[in-house]
Amino acid sequence: MRRLILTSIPSVPHLEALMLLRASAPTPWSAPALAQRLYVTPAAAGAVLEYLCHAGMLNADADADASPRAYRLRPQRDRLLATLAQLYSTHLVEITRLIHDRPGTAR
């Protein structure tokens, strides 16, 4: 899990987005809907979703021109993210520190 966090989850909003998508799977999420839940702008939420899609955690609707674009958790990642969700629920402080204290993270 440590490697996953250090290599694929650059911020707490990325982690929170994964947890939301996992908890509501298979319901798709759009950037505006995610923005409301994470208290970020739709542009920031869109960037998080695109990052997670490119990292292999999410699938995006095939129609890239759809507005708003919808994202779903990749079913192949469910087991991995179930483990992460369990750890996050019991080690929230440690995991958020790991994200914030990684080398190259601006403070």
For the chain, give every domain's residue range: 2-100
pTM of the predicted model, to two decimals? 0.88
CATH topology of domain 2-100: Arc Repressor Mutant, subunit A (1.10.10)
pLDDT at 102: 81
29 backbone dihedrals φ, ψ, rounded to 5°: -125, 145
Positions in the chain whose pLDDT score sits under 70:
64-66, 104-107
Output b/e per residue, 25-62; b: 16+ Cβ within 10 A.
Answer: beebbbbebbbeebebeeebbbebbebbbebebbbbee
Q: Is 73 helix (H, G, I), strand (E, B) or coil?
A: strand
Q: Residues 27-52: pLDDT tens digits? A: 999 999 999 999 999 999 999 999 99
pLDDT at 107: 47
